[in-house]
């Protein structure tokens, strides 16, 4: 059995590259976003090639058949919705470049998907997770500081691992974060996170680096910034130590940050600013999480719950 993955034809491969170049040059799309688009478009081009077509000669009936095949193979509705959104964006670009006269997917409807509530943690679970790293090692000190910053400032994992030493102002208690679209924002650290970063810089960072002058605040290998994958592996390890067996995601502490702020009365606009969301509707998902938690508390503790 061959392990060679099917590839799109040369013409379609060139189109995919041109589209991704457009996203990068015109919109500053991240590597993660570009990789997701490449994955979706490559899969679509391979499916079209098997049907005797290509990206610019897609028959309208091929996509519904393929979506049905994916559902039977176990792909979730949300996965197919994201795939279709990727294809729609590609064909809008192709129309704008006059590569097509009409959108071949114009009559295909997007699946209706309810917004998924993000996985989060209770406040006591967060405390257990933050306390899980062993503080008698430099790695443990680094991980404790990273977890405290992740929760205390509500950062994305990609923002956390990319932090440099000059991004943190411990005197003012803020961190300068470069988020999506290369937009910078200042986020308060909070007293606990500032304490643990200070202690880590004094007691742990030097032991992890060959060259202390390198800028990575939380180094991985070769004094460079840690990868997201490495940090996610560390989170899962600490969750086991903390006895947390519920499903986690790389952004679990970011979700907890937002949810706990709202639970304690924070303004939604303030949470939007802290998270770096450009659209308030993105932040509003956390109001559903907070509401669900309040309803559960009411059911557990109210005499008529």
The answer regarding whether domain 123-301 maps to CATH 1.10.443.10 reads yes
Q: What's the rounded Cα separation, in Å, for the pair 299 and 24?
A: 49
Q: Which class in CATH covers the domain with range 10-96?
A: mainly alpha
- What is the reported pLDDT for 205? 95
Residue 95 makes CB contacts below 8 A (sequence gap 6+) with 102, 103
Q: 3-class DSSP state for residue 114?
A: coil
User: Would you please indicate which residues are annotated as catalytic (active-site) residues?
Assistant: 156, 180, 251, 254, 277, 286
Q: What's the rounded Cα separation, in Å, for the pair 116 and 170?
A: 36
Residue 247 makes CB contacts below 8 A (sequence gap 6+) with 119
Instruction: State the alpha helices, DSSP H only, in 165-251.
Output: 191-203, 205-208, 228-241
Model confidence, pTM: 0.59
- What is the reported pLDDT for 82? 81
Angle (nearest 5°) at CA 118 between 115 and 123: 145
- What is the reported pLDDT for 167? 94
Q: What's the rounded Cα separation, in Å, for the pair 22 and 5?
A: 26
- What is the reported pLDDT for 67? 77
What is the per-residue burial (b if ≥16 Cβ within 10 Å, else e) of 113-133?
eeeeebebbeeebbebbbebb
- What is the reported pLDDT for 305? 47
61 by Cβ neighbours in 10 Å (0-12 / 13-18 / 19+) ranks as exposed
User: Residues in the chain with pLDDT < 70?
Assistant: 1-5, 59-60, 109-118, 278-305
The full set of domain ranges for the chain reads 10-96, 123-301
- What is the reported pLDDT for 97? 92
pLDDT digits (tens, 9 = 90+) for 47-81: 888 888 888 887 667 887 887 788 778 777 777 77
Whole-angstrom Cα Rg for the chain = 23
Which two structure tokens, joined as six digits, stand for 48? 């079209």
Sheet holding 184-188, edge to edge: 168-169, 174-178, 184-188
259: closest CA among 292, 296, 297, 235?
Answer: 292
E-assigned strand segments in the chain: 168-169, 174-178, 184-188
On the question of a common fold for 10-96 and 123-301, the answer reads no
């Amino acid at each position: 059995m061959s392990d060679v993955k099917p590839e799109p034809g040369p013409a379609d491969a060139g189109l995919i590259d041109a589209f991704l170049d457009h996203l990068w040059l015109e919109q500053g799309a991240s590597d993660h976003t570009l990789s997701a688009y490449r994955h979706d478009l490559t899969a679509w081009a391979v499916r079209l090639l098997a049907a005797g077509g290509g990206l610019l000669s897609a028959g309208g009936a091929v996509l519904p058949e393929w979506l049905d095949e994916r559902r039977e193979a176990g792909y979730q509705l949300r996965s197919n919705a994201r795939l279709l959104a990727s294809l729609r964006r590609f064909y809008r670009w192709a129309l704008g470049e006059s590569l097509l006269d009409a959108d071949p997917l114009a009559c295909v409807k997007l699946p209706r998907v309810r917004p998924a509530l993000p996985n989060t943690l209770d406040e006591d679970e967060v405390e257990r997770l933050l306390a899980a790293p062993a503080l008698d090692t430099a790695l443990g000190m680094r991980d404790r500081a990273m977890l405290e910053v992740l929760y205390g400032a509500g950062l994305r994992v990609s923002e956390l691992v990319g932090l440099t030493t000059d991004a943190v102002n411990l005197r003012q208690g803020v961190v300068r974060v470069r988020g999506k679209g290369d937009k910078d924002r200042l986020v308060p650290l909070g007293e606990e996170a500032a304490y643990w970063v200070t202690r880590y810089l004094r007691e742990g960072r030097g032991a992890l680096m060959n060259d202390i002058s390198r800028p990575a605040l939380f180094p991985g290998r070769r004094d460079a910034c840690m990868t997201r994958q490495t940090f996610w592996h560390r989170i899962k390890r600490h969750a086991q130590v903390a006895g947390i067996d519920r499903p986690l995601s790389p952004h679990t502490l970011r979700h907890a940050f937002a949810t706990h702020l709202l639970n304690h009365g924070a303004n939604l606009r303030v949470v939007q600013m802290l998270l770096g969301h450009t659209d308030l509707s993105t932040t509003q998902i956390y109001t559903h999480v907070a509401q669900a938690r309040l309803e559960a508390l009411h059911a557990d503790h109210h005499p008529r719950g």
